[in-house]
Amino acid sequence: MLKIVLDTNVLVSAIISKGKPFELAQLGFKGKFMIITSEPALNELFDVLERSKFQPVREEVEIVIRAMNFLSNPYRSSRNLTVTLPSSSSLTTDISW
């Protein structure tokens, strides 16, 4: 089965409009593909949906939250990821016109 990550912007757009994000989320909720998420991503979604500008669509927000909790497949990494960034002195930019 195809696995897809729907970011917060796509899910919020699915709530406030009936365009492509809505259609994509509906396909996932109907089982056409597996929605993959993570605890931090769900927390971000919930935080965004708690903002006052989403109060007029509170019912849809609650439906999405319940659906994401029930239908999504949380990703839990068994490894730690370490990212080492280069020092600022090693970063150079050379632009020629």
pLDDT-derived band at 95, boundaries 50, 70, 90: very low
pTM, rounded to two decimals:
0.59
Domain locations in the chain as residue ranges: 3-76
How many CB atoms are closer than 10 A to CB 6? 21
pLDDT for residue 79 is more than 60: yes
Would you give the DSSP letter of residue 75?
A: -
Would you give the DSSP letter of residue 30?
A: T
Contacts 24+ apart (CB under 8 A), 74-81: 74/36, 74/37, 74/38, 74/39, 74/42, 75/36, 75/37, 75/38, 76/38, 76/39
Q: Is 87 helix (H, G, I), strand (E, B) or coil?
A: coil
Q: How does pLDDT run across 19-69, given as a tens digit for each residue?
A: 999 898 889 888 899 888 777 888 888 888 888 887 767 777 677 777 776
